[in-house]
Amino acid sequence: MSEEQIPCQNTDETLYREKHSDHWGSFDDKLFVTKDDGIGIDVAGMVYVKPLKQWHSIESKLAIAVKALEKIAGGARTVDCTEQSLLPYKMLKIASAALAEINGK
């Protein structure tokens, strides 16, 4: 028994496209809107589609996370995790504190 192939029409509206090529071939990264008003991002074939408010929420949470991590790290933009002061249990404590800050607890 063979599967019936039904042709489909792509109804996405591309807002931005960037062409790339490498030793694997050619591909396009793109930003698009779906027929259901979802915002899609396709980078190297990895596609995420979410409603606009979800994308905004993600960006807001990332901004809060960066501020929380900077606060915990004493304002440093980077932290050397190989230092003795950042053994795994201490890194877990830092991550837990950052998550609490992000979640407003």
Domains of the chain, residue spans: 1-50, 52-105
Determine what percent of the chain is predicted with pLDDT higher than 90.
Answer: 28
The structure's pTM equals 0.54
Confidence of residue 62 (pLDDT cuts 50, 70, 90): confident
* Spatial strand order in the sheet of 13-22: 13-22, 25-33, 39-43, 46-50
Whether the pLDDT of residue 81 is over 80: the answer is no
Neighbours of 93 (CB within 10 A): 13
**Those residues with Cβ within 8 angstroms of residue 91's Cβ, 6 or more apart along the chain or in another chain:** 81
Q: How far apart are the first and last CA of the chain?
A: 57
What's the confidence (pLDDT) of residue 42? 93
- Segment 55-77 shows an average pLDDT of 75
